[in-house]
């Protein structure tokens, strides 16, 4: 039952032993920090709206970079065979790897908590949207991690896994900004598919079950597709 | 203990393993022999549950591999070909990770790791990254990995590949030691290795079993043909053929080569159980040929292997 935690721990150790984790976290912090604070003082408003509006776009290429190695590397060096012949189920493997990607996303977000804390010092910060924003960021991070895991399970090549994962995440992020290309009759459906649309709802501090269901179902579909991809390997 | 029935595996339209039936008993050391691409690795991969058979069934201790893959995986220790491990991990970290997955309790973990490190000669490299190890050391890590949970069945895919002669002897020694209590199945294309370590040998060619039995039986069951090789000086091919063919029991004499310095090499084949060497010697003695070489080829596993795997080709 708890077999996946061993895989999770091993993956996290891998991230933090090698330079990947530090590089990705640094890049993420530099990009978000720069884009957020370059306009923050101009607006002269004590909120984090700028930060959270950037997040989906940045996530959609940073998270696939984290998850790209999870399966692709195992396939490439052949260690997947060893993993699969040990007493673990597919769900242990998939869930362990997904959880590792998700925890890494959390680790990446952790240092950004310094932003609301420092803003609270210089202005009157409304904590509601901040908490909502972080909750949304975790949901979005989980969703993109699941998509990244799926992309990684499709190929031996980490670069292909990254491009594939980033492409899917970008489409989900940007699709609700392209609504004018679509006929009016399916507008609602397309809008509902957009990850950014649901993220904005949660980030506003409104926890609606429709948004939760969206994130959970995308995670479920991605992980189930990963399972199907692995099954094909047999 | 292991019961394999009509096991077949297709890769697209290519049939890698064709209707194999094997019954493996507890405590047996079984060597799987065959030329490259014969289906050895595929068979082993199906036994470990990594590949799904196209048709056929595998039972281990009354467990069916399709319904109880976890129970079977728990019973099997597997060393894949060329031991592909995580390159960045330290040997210690890796083996600890394996011990956790294989469900070894924290109190047993350290003694077990220490025991395996001693058994496989890993003590001095426990804190090196796996990617830095030589092939032989990598292989030993693989062996430690396979034996982690003290499994009932050990499946080793070419375990001595890439090792130096000393290490090969060591590994054979380990395999024999384990084989006293456990079932060991390993594949190899080194025949002397199989002969030295196995109780029983299965030869596979083109996905089919062409021989199954212990080494002695195999040698006996193979054709009773004896081959005698002769190198003669001062001899003409035709007269040698005539003279030797006249000996009772010799079926056929084949010239092999003639060197510049006049040495004629011939092979005489016989299927009679009688030792013909005396008669051949007497025949040659009555002529003025000079014997340079006189060799009766013993029926080794190698000749049997070549016969069996060539016949079908």
The per-residue pLDDT for range A39-72, each reduced to its tens digit, is 888 887 878 888 898 899 999 999 999 999 999 9
Residue scoring higher pLDDT (A113 or B237): A113
pLDDT band at A92 (very low <50, low <70, confident <90, very high): very high
On whether the CB atoms of residues A69 and A159 are closer than 8 A, the answer is: no
Count of CB contacts below 8 A, A vs B? 61
Residue entry with tokens 């065959």: B34
B contact residues 39-68, partner A, Cβ 8 Å cutoff: 45, 48-52
Beta carbons of B97 and A6 less than 8 Å apart: yes
Residue entry with tokens 């199954």: B212
Beta carbons of B73 and A85 less than 8 Å apart: yes
Q: How would CATH label the architecture of B226-311? A: 2-Layer Sandwich (3.30)
Task: Count CA within 13 A, CB hemisphere, residue A157.
Answer: 4
Read off the tokens for B210: 């062409």
Query: What whole-number distance in Å separates Cα of residue B53 and Cα of residue B169?
Result: 34
Beta carbons of A82 and B80 less than 8 Å apart: yes
Domain boundaries, chain B: 2-221, 226-311
Check residue A18 and report its DSSP letter.
S
- pLDDT tens-place string over residues B51-82: 888 888 888 888 888 888 888 888 899 998 87
Distance from the first to the final alpha carbon of chain A: 23
**Angstroms from B115 CA to nearest CA on chain A:** 20
Query: What whole-number distance in Å separates Cα of residue B90 and Cα of residue A78?
Result: 18
Predicted pLDDT at B220: 65
Check residue A207 and report its DSSP letter.
-
B97 in A contact zone (CB under 8 Å)? yes
* pLDDT higher than threshold 90 for residue A96: yes
Beta carbons of B73 and A82 less than 8 Å apart: no
Across the beta sheet with B14-24, what order do the strands follow?
B14-24, B2-11, B55-60, B63-64
Q: What is the DSSP string of chain B?
A: -EEEEEEEEEETTEEEEEEEEEEE-TT-EEEEE-STTSSHHHHHHHHTTSSPPSEEEEEETTEETTT-HHHHHHHEEEE-TT----TTSBHHHHHHHHHHHTT--HHHHHHHHHHHHHHTT-GGGTTSBGGGS-HHHHHHHHHHHHTTT--SEEEEESTTTT--HHHHHHHHHHHHHHHTTSEEEEEES-HHHHHHH-SEEEEEETTEEEEEE-HHHHHHHS---EEEEEEEES--HHHHHHHHHTSTTEEEEEEEEE-TTS-EEEEEEE--SS--HHHHHHHHHTSS-EEEEEEEEP--HHHHHHHHHHHT-
> Does residue B264 come out as left (phi exceeding 0), alpha (psi in the -120 to 50 range) or beta?
beta
Predicted pLDDT at B281: 87
Beta carbons of B101 and A13 less than 8 Å apart: no
On whether the CB atoms of residues A70 and A101 are closer than 8 A, the answer is: yes
Q: Which residues of chain B have pLDDT under 70?
A: 219-225, 298-301, 311-313
Kindly identify which residue of chain A lies nearest to residue B87, measuring between CA atoms.
A77
Predicted pLDDT at B313: 46
Assign domain B2-221 one CATH number from 3.40.50.300, 3.20.20.70, 3.40.250.10, 1.10.150.130.
3.40.50.300
Q: Which among B45, B73, B84 is the nearest to A79, CB-wise?
A: B84
Rg (CA), chain A: 18
- pLDDT tens-place string over residues A120-158: 888 888 888 899 999 999 999 999 999 999 999 999 999
Helix (H, G, I), strand (E, B) or coil at A2: coil
B contact residues 208-237, partner A, Cβ 8 Å cutoff: none
Q: Which among B50, B88, B102 is the nearest to A84, CB-wise?
A: B50
Beta carbons of A77 and B87 less than 8 Å apart: yes
- pLDDT tens-place string over residues A180-231: 888 888 888 888 888 888 998 888 888 889 999 999 999 999 999 999 999 9
Task: Tell me the ipTM for this assembly.
Answer: 0.86
On whether the CB atoms of residues A143 and A218 are closer than 8 A, the answer is: yes
Helix (H, G, I), strand (E, B) or coil at A221: helix
**Angstroms from A119 CA to nearest CA on chain B:** 40
Predicted pLDDT at A126: 86
For residue A85, list chain B residues with Cβ-Cβ distance below 8 A: 48-50, 73, 76, 78, 80
- Fold equal for B2-221 and B226-311: no
Query: What whole-number distance in Å separates Cα of residue B215 and Cα of residue B195?
Result: 7
Predicted pLDDT at B278: 84
What is the value of pTM for the model shown? Answer: 0.83
Kindly identify which residue of chain A lies nearest to residue B71, measuring between CA atoms.
A87
Per DSSP bridges, beta strands B63-64 and B14-24 are: unpaired
Predicted pLDDT at B113: 92
């Amino acid at each position: 039952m708890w077999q996946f935690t061993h895989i999770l721990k091993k993956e996290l150790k891998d991230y933090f032993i090698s330079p990947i984790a530090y590089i990705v976290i640094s890049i993420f912090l530099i990009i978000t920090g720069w884009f957020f604070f370059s306009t923050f003082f101009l607006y002269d408003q004590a909120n984090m709206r700028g930060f959270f509006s950037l997040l989906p776009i940045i996530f959609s290429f940073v998270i696939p970079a984290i998850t790209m190695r999870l399966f692709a590397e195992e396939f490439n060096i052949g260690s997947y065979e060893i993993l699969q012949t040990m007493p673990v189920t597919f769900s242990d493997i998939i869930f362990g790897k997904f959880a590792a990607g998700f925890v890494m996303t959390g680790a990446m977000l952790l240092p950004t908590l310094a932003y609301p804390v420092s803003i609270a010092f210089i202005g009157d910060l409304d904590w509601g949207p901040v908490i909502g924003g972080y909750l949304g960021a975790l949901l979005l991070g989980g969703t993109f991690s699941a998509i990244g895991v799926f992309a990684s399970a499709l190929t031996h090549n980490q670069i292909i896994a990254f491009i594939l994962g980033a492409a899917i995440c970008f489409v989900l992020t940007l699709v609700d900004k392209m609504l004018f290309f679509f006929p009016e009759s399916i507008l609602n459906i397309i809008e509902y598919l957009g990850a950014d649309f649901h993220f904005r709802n949660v980030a506003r501090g409104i926890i609606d079950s429709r948004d939760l269901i969206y994130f959970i179902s995308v995670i479920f579909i991605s992980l189930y597709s990963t399972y199907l991809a692995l099954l094909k390997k047999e | 203990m292991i019961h394999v029935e009509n096991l077949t595996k297709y890769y697209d339209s290519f049939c890698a393993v064709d209707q194999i039936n094997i019954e493996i008993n507890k405590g047996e050391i079984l060597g799987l022999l065959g030329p490259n691409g014969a289906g050895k690795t595929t068979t082993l991969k199906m036994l470990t549950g990594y590949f799904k058979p196209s048709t056929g069934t595998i039972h281990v201790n009354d467990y069916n591999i399709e319904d109880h893959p976890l129970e079977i995986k728990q019973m099997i220790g597997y060393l894949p070909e060329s031991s592909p491990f995580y390159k960045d991990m330290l040997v210690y970290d890796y083996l600890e990770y394996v011990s956790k997955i294989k469900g070894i309790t924290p109190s047993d973990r350290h003694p077990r790791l220490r025991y395996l490190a001693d058994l496989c000669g890993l003590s001095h490299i426990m804190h090196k990254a796996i990617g830095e190890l030589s092939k032989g050391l990598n292989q030993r890590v693989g062996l430690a990995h396979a034996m982690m949970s003290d499994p009932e069945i050990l499946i080793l895919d070419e375990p001595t590949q890439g090792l130096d002669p000393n290490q090969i002897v060591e590994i054979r020694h380990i395999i024999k030691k384990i084989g006293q209590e456990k079932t060991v199945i390993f594949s190899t294309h080194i025949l002397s290795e199989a002969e030295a370590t196995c109780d029983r040998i299965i030869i596979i060619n083109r996905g089919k079993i062409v021989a199954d039995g212990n080494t002695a039986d195999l040698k006996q069951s193979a054709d009773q043909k004896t081959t005698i090789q002769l190198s003669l000086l001062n001899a003409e091919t035709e007269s040698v053929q005539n003279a030797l063919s006249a000996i009772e029991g010799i079926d056929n004499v084949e010239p092999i080569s003639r060197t510049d310095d006049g040495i004629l090499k011939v092979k005489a084949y016989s299927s009679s159980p009688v030792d013909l060497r005396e008669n051949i010697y007497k025949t040659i003695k009555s002529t003025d040929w000079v014997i340079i070489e006189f060799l009766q080829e013993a029926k080794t596993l190698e000749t049997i292997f070549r016969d069996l795997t060539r016949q079908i080709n």
